[in-house]
Amino acid sequence: MNNTTDNNPAFDVLVIGSGAAGLSLALEMADKATVGVISKGELTEGSTYYAQGGIAAVLDETDTVESHIQDTLDSGAGLCDPDAVRFVVENGRIAIQKLIDLGVDFSRDPDPEKTGQEYHLTREGGHSHRRVIHAADATGRAVETTLVEKVQTTNNITLLDHHMAIDLIRDKRGDKRCIGAYALDIKNDRVIAYGAKAVVLATGGASKAYLYTSNPDGSTGDGIAMAWRAGANVANMEFTQFHPTCLFHPEAKSFLVTEAVRGEGGKLRLGNTKRFMDKFDDRGELAPRDIVARAIDHEMKRTGDECVYLDITDKPVDFIREHFPTVYKRCLDFGFDMTEQSIPVVPAAHYTCGGVKTDLAGRTSIDGLYAIGEVACTGLHGANRIASNSLLECLVLGAASAKDILENLDTMPDAQALTPWDESWVRDSDEDVVVSHNWDEVRRFMWNYVGIVRTDKRLERAKHRIDLLQTEINDYYGNFRITGDLLE
């Protein structure tokens, strides 16, 4: 079927992505600007919905901003931008209060008179204090569903689900600012050119490039690739974070076992029940994710085992069911009762620490183009993100970008007529399976050669294969009509 083009609709701001970053920005702007939100699937299909642990912020009077800053810097292996760290951490309490005001139902502290806290705070890897506010073990779901409900009833926000962004559009004149984007309307099989005064990338990361990942299927790095093709600066793409504990089961699809299980006392054990983390770090199971993931990888290679085990059976049954209802139920679905037995776990690609280079207002190197959330590289995470700083960054930078856009909206050029998408010279593919094979090949050699532990030889092998694939993909892209699989 031929894709058909449409007259280009226009907004003040076009947001590509519907997770915490994109939707929070849309809500911040809706009173003063028209906003279009593009989502490649349902609004809730991004990584935000699946985030379990929580949001790190200094909410306890015994905790300090300086402590949170130092923990973040330590986890980032010396490569964090100190200004970015301070900016995000200092704005954490405000970001949390906005979510509470919107109606996010965070878990309450069971004994507020004793702790002095209205909300329960947990501790996760790399943190020196309990500072992670959460909604049981499904924080992302609570945040995302609340944001979705709000944007669906807010004037000036147009929701465009089942649309896949193809490429950014730059003005060929003057400063060549970003003036819109092409998107594939999947349901109607047509390409539409959307114009905007400002375009905001909030598309998430690229962990789906790996064979084993905790991320949903949509985390294919679309926004980073579009920005790079448009000429934007990209940084730190070598820093992929591997989450240490994803459920090991052939049908589990790398279901993530929240870091909070270790934060509440869960221990990692080998198949012979022996603990091993103390050999690698004095903090044991509460070391930062990169250390824990490498330790697990090392032990699996040393022993030949397919997984290690996460044990929290020393906690009361009611405690486990109350604090980890999602993990508890999911494990039961696969035959594991975490109140009585250890959970088999393995590392999996989890978070893209690099991305489109931005400042602390989300501005990229291209005028009119912003990037926020996991798609962006603000310098907050350095080489390794500390637990539960991701949703925090989404919210803080979403607000900062919205503020900057609104302050400059009146001086931005109006949306202009855009050149329609031209596919008059391409044809329907007769070998869609080729795309599937290429996608599978990329994910396998990325896992094998560009994984947790890398060597020059492995990286050279990966580069050789990617160069060959790039030629095939470019030829295919240039000759056949756009499809969702081809774009990813």
List, by residue number, the catalytic residues: 289
| Token couple for 149 | 């409900």
Q: How far apart are CA 200 and CA 369, in angstroms?
A: 6
Comparing C-alpha atoms, which of 353, 143, 334, 343 is closest to residue 253?
A: 334
Strand ranges across the sheet with 132-133: 55-56, 132-133, 121-122
Please report the beta strands in 68-189, taking only residues with DSSP state E, as ranges in sequence order. 121-122, 132-133, 157-160, 163-170, 178-185
8 A C-beta contact, residue 356 and residue 234: yes
| 3-class secondary-structure state, position 406 | helix
Beta bridge mates, 275: 269
| DSSP annotation string for 372-401 | -GGGEE-SSSTTSPPTT-HHHHHHHHHHHH
The secondary structure element, H or E, covering residue 476 is helix 456-479
8 A C-beta contact, residue 37 and residue 15: yes
Q: How far apart are CA 356 and CA 375, in angstroms?
A: 6
Residue 168 makes CB contacts below 8 A (sequence gap 6+) with 178, 180, 181, 199, 226, 227, 229, 230, 366, 369
Neighbours of 118 (CB within 10 A): 11
